[in-house]
């Protein structure tokens, strides 16, 4: 499945490329046989599979630099890859290019408790950073669901989020400095150990750039003091609208919860038999609302949260009484994706963000679409920041189901844009949502993105066919949309 990866083909002399790369890499760092490369043919978006021309596994920044210099000289595309847990195909290989896995760059270079920072290589796992910081009472705050496996380099490339973003921010808020390589092999430092580095905020630009601007070789992250205590309120509602109102009321009361998550009935029913989280299965929606801080702070805030949620007409409220119970309440939410995976051969995870006030409307629309396409859909929702993850269940072995699931997902994301939101909150555009960029951006804006990209990579060699569609693709998309709109308007 080449899709937009075939939009531009590159003429690369594979034999020559192998010869040049062999000269700078140990034998074990270059894979050229099909069976060796097969494990690298996709990331978390398994519906898109593509063999690269070659796979390189540099063991140092110098080797990564040598690879880029050669690829740049020979005009061969380069696709960086971390742990490949991404869900949008950001690390899908390019058929004419070298897939560069940064998995071997996995050293934690320094953890400094006094400055509350850690310097790590890109292949270090998200959770390993918190593990290394734990002896000092510190942790790395962003916690994407894949945090056991996903790596910091990928987190920066995707600007990864998690369930605690409302209070603690996204990756972009927790990274101080990124050291990387341009496609030409120049070493550059974006940001610094000091705040407000001079010049344009290229560090912010790198976050979420999906490997299209530079290859990351080292990251300085900010560490956060671990709160003394955390407690979670779990509330059930007999109507999703009431749950949505409760979210708005919590914010209106001046509370910024450490986490604020919602799950619909289909999601709780998927999760409960899998992890026994103790969720109320009668509820149409449940809300998880967390407070953290000093014991005094938490007691005060939990009291305020409880009062607001009660006034919002919750059918039931419980507060975690100990750490084990708190983790159990969260385990259900964190296991939502694999739990849904047990109910269906395949599922697509959508990632739209909408203004919170449109939530109930969105869930009703998703229910209607579920009937229209004849596919089930469970919803988990980062309610605090409006980020919705509908999980569309399908069976790839049934003819037409994947296409129906994709069309269902596209309609949800189109609706997200119409509601004033975005097609992707934290999973990235990749190859999966690249055409939907035309839904959210005008041709001149798409063109500005291409010019911005060229400022870093004039020959378009870093991760081509991802993130931003060609102008020709955008025109096709808009014409096709106009055609289908006028067709459906006919009686």
Partner 1 sequence: MDALLEDWAGRIREAAGGGGKLAIRGGGSKSFYGGAESGEPFAVGDYRGIVAYEPTELVVTARAGTRLADLAAVLAEKGQWLPFEPPLFGPQATVGGMLACGLSGPRRQAMGAVRDFVLGVRLLDGRGEVLSFGGQVMKNVAGYDVPRLLAGSLGTLGVILEVSLKVLPRPVAESSLRLASDEVAALQRLNQWGGRPLPISASAWHDGVLTLRLSGAAAAVVAAQRTLAGELLDEAVADAFWQSLREQEHAFFAGDAPLWRLGLPSVAPPLGLGPTLIEWGGAQRWLRGGEAGAIRAAAARVGGHATLFRADATLKAAAGVFQPLPEALARIHRNLKQAFDPQGIFNPGRMYPDL
Looking at 1, 109, 454, 480, which residue binds partner 1 (CB under 8 A)?
454
Q: What three-state secondary structure class fits 201?
A: coil
Q: Which residue, among 208, 201, 283, has the nearest Cα to 242 in the 3D structure? A: 283
Q: Which of 166, 221, 359, 375 binds partner 1 (CB under 8 A)?
A: 166
Query: CB of 231: closest distance to partner 1 in angstroms?
Result: 13
- Report 15-74 residues binding partner 1 (CB under 8 A): none
Distance CA 358, CA 386 (A): 9
CB 376 within 8 A of CB 394: no
Among residues 335, 355, 337, 354, which one has the least CA distance to residue 346? 337
Least spacing, CB of residue 366 vs partner 1, in Å: 18
The residue among 186 and 364 lying less far from partner 1, judged by its C-beta, is 186
Contact 151, 216 (CB under 8 A): no
Question: Do 48 and 432 form a contact (C-beta atoms < 8 A)?
Answer: yes
In angstroms, rounded to a whole number, what is the distance separating the alpha carbons of residues 381 and 89?
A: 22
Under rule CB under 8 A, residue 448 binds partner 1: yes
Which range in 40-48, 192-200, 307-315, 320-328 contacts partner 1 by CB under 8 A? 192-200
Of the residues 249, 344, 367, 478, which one makes contact with partner 1 according to CB under 8 A:
249
Site for partner 1 in 252-291 (CB under 8 A): 252, 254-256
Query: What residues between 224 and 243 interact with partner 1 by CB under 8 A?
Result: 225-228
Range 414-433, binding partner 1 (CB under 8 A): 420-429, 433
Counting contacts by CB under 8 A, is residue 172 touching partner 1? Answer: yes
- Residue 481 CB, nearest approach to partner 1 (Å): 17
Q: CA 299 from chain center: how many Å?
A: 33
| 218, 264, 280, 301: residue in contact with partner 1 (rule CB under 8 A) | 301
Which of 28, 35, 451, 487 binds partner 1 (CB under 8 A)? It is 451
Q: Quote the least distance from Cβ 404 to partner 1, whole Å.
A: 24
> Quick one: which segment of 10-18, 32-40, 63-71, 443-451 binds partner 1 (CB under 8 A)?
443-451
- Dihedral angle at the C-alpha atoms of 21, 23, 29, 34, nearest 10 degrees? 50
Of residues 182, 120, 181, the one with CA closest to residue 151: 120
Total chain residues near partner 1 (CB under 8 A): 95
Residue closer to partner 1, measured from CB, 27 or 195: 195
Q: How far is the CB of 362 from partner 1 (least distance, A)?
A: 12
Strand order in the sheet with 229-237: 316-319, 229-237, 285-293, 259-264, 377-382, 387-394, 346-349
Q: Does 474 bind partner 1 (CB under 8 A)?
A: no
Query: Residue 461 and residue 475: Cα distance in Å, rounded?
Result: 23
Cα separation of 81 and 463, whole Å?
10
> With respect to partner 1, which residue has the nearer C-beta, 304 or 404?
304
Q: Does 411 bind partner 1 (CB under 8 A)?
A: no
Q: Which of residues 304-333 bind partner 1 (CB under 8 A)?
A: none
If one asks whether residue 113 binds partner 1 (CB under 8 A), the answer comes out as yes
Return the half-sphere exposure (C-beta side, CA atoms, 13 A cut-off) of residue 254: 3
φ and ψ at 462, to 5 degrees? Answer: -85, 115
What is the pairing mode between strands 285-293 and 387-394? unpaired
Q: Which stretch binds partner 1 (CB under 8 A): 28-36, 77-85, 114-122, 260-268?
A: 114-122
- Given a contact cutoff of 8 angstroms between Cβ atoms, the answer to whether 210 and 104 are in contact is no
Angle at 43 between CA 151 and CA 355, to 5 degrees: 75
Q: Does 165 bind partner 1 (CB under 8 A)?
A: yes
Q: What residue has token string 């010049």?
A: 199
Return the residues of window 348-367 that contact partner 1 according to CB under 8 A. 353-357
Write out the binding residues for partner 1, residues 193-222 only, by CB under 8 A.
193-202, 204-205, 207-209, 213
Torsions phi, psi of 47, nearest 5?
A: -70, -20
- Residue closer to partner 1 by CB (options 60, 192) is 192
Q: Which of 238, 361, 385, 411 binds partner 1 (CB under 8 A)?
A: 385
């Amino acid at each position: 499945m080449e899709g937009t990866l075939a939009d531009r083909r590159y003429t690369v002399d594979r034999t020559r490329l192998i010869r040049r790369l062999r000269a700078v890499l140990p034998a074990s760092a270059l894979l050229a046989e099909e069976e060796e490369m097969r494990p690298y043919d996709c990331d978390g978006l398994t519906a898109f599979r593509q063999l690269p021309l070659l796979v390189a596994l540099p063991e140092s920044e110098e080797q990564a630099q040598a690879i880029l210099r050669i690829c740049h000289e020979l005009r061969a595309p380069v696709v960086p890859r971390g742990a490949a847990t991404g869900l949008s195909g950001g690390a899908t290989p390019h058929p004419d290019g070298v897939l560069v896995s940064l998995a071997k760059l996995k050293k934690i270079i320094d953890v400094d408790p006094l400055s509350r920072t850690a310097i790590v290589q890109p292949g270090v796992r998200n959770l390993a950073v918190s593990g290394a910081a734990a002896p000092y009472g510190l942790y790395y705050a962003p916690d994407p669901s894949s945090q056991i496996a996903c790596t910091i380099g990928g987190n920066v490339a995707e600007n990864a989020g998690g369930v605690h973003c409302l209070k603690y921010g996204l990756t972009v808020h927790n990274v101080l400095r990124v050291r990387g390589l341009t496609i030409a092999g120049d070493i550059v430092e974006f940001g610094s150990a000091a705040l407000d580095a001079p010049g344009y905020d290229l560090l912010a630009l790198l976050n979420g750039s999906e490997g299209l601007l530079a290859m990351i070789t080292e990251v300085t992250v900010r560490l956060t003091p671990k709160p003394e205590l955390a407690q979670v309120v779990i509330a059930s509602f007999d109507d999703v609208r009431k749950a949505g109102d409760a979210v708005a009321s919590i914010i209106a009361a001046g509370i910024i919860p450490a986490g604020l998550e919602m799950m619909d009935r289909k999601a709780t029913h998927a999760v409960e038999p899998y992890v026994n989280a103790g969720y109320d299965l009668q509820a149409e929606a449940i809300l998880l609302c967390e407070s953290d801080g000093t014991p005094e702070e938490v007691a005060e805030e939990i009291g305020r949260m409880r009062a607001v949620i009660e006034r919002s007409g919750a059918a039931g409220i419980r507060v975690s009484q100990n750490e084990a119970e708190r983790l159990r309440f969260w385990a259900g939410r964190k296991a939502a994706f694999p739990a849904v995976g047990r109910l269906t051969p395949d599922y697509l995870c959508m990632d739209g963000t909408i203004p919170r006030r449109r939530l109930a409307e969105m869930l009703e629309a998703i229910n209607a679409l579920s009937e229209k396409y004849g596919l089930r859909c469970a919803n988990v929702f980062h309610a605090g920041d409006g980020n919705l993850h509908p999980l569309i269940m399908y069976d790839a072995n049934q003819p037409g189901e994947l296409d129906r699931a994709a069309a269902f997902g596209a309609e949800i994301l189109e609706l997200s844009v119409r509601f004033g939101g975005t097609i992707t909150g934290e999973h990235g555009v990749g190859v999966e949502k690249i055409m939907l960029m035309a839904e959210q951006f005008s041709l001149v804006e798409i063109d500005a993105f291409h010019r911005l990209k060229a400022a870093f990579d004039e020959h378009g060699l870093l991760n081509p066919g991802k993130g931003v569609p060609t102008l020709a693709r955008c025109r096709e998309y808009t014409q096709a949309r106009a055609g289908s709109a006028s067709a459906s308007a006919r009686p």
